[in-house]
Structure 1
């Protein structure tokens, strides 16, 4: 693990994820830990419209994590076109448009840390996850540029960009669960992981409450929230109690060099 975080204000954190529930499944523990420490936390969600049934579920999940109000970009899910009527699917939208919207949220939140999907698109390679990863990597660097989309706010360069990921050694039980419902499992070499967060107590409870808040997904048999909801508590905790991240980039933000994702 990296050295302990020095005393002082906790690093603010912005998650950028493709769908409602990704934030809870992939980084719910880290979001809950940061919020509990007094750090500002927020989440941008790329797909589903604000008037869809998943928006209030997302609001309940973010409330459980202490991560503020939903920040929906409002693109359509690649596999559910009617998730945002009249809007293009995220994977069809011009990349510069998606990047510009994410930059606006980075400048509004002014986080020290940004967390998003890994380059594989998280275990199953969902195209929305891949697109969100690509756009967030670009937005992380563009947000600090003075002449890039000045109408979206004052430049802000976050200090670190992390990808939520899964190492080869850490997907055993989760891989088995996904393979039973016919889903692909994509993981990374263990040495690619630069931060591992083990959750216990309140952060783990908040993460599980946030996952369950996505009620429509928890009711589905093939969706991961639904798969987890049908597991015994001990088996479920063995799957969700550890979060893995890869540090992808650094910026020259204020406050010195960021050394730690965990709090």
Structure 2
């Protein structure tokens, strides 16, 4: 009987955020697959656990992935974790989850903190609809193309960034979306020096031009404003109402539907219809 691949969320900075279920998953697993075994060793020591560990990171995905999945197929259970947060989100774990499912292996989530959702929740930006971009490409051309593709994006956009790249990223964002675009910078979430700053891209770029960025950042950027509706004249609204009447609507219902989304009231459209009907 094959085992299970557990996808275990770990704290993004504060060990008190480790859930009892995550601790139990580490305790019951036969072995642990970790992005950086040194980081995960500290977590296991905190829990008082000793577990065999396998490193699984960006540059050994194929070799180690096959090894891990073969052990699970042989009956062992594995707890997969990243250095912080939920594995497989902007993380190499994405690959092993896909491969495990393709091989018919059970993949069980053990939810935990996620930096992008945590930052979004405290950002003060719109949270109903958002898009997660993670880290922007390092290649200049690819980065320009990615930002150009987001030009009309109306949903809130979330980026990750390392401190040594933050200044360049803020400059690129301000150039692409305008210095007045709103953004929230969440720094060192759940840690001692946690900071959440709701500002604009221009103000953030100016601030960090004078102050050294410190810690890991999540940038939660305001979406683009919805395009203004095209101006519609009262005459055009009345013409639309006439077409609706021809399609079977009553004059009152047609006037109401034609007025929707325009600066005019149902009564204004209806009165114009009535006047034109008298001529």
**Structure 1 length normalisation: TM-score?**
0.33
Greater RCO, CA 8 A, separation 6+: 1
Q: Which has the larger radius of gyration?
A: 2
**Structure 2 length normalisation: TM-score?**
0.31
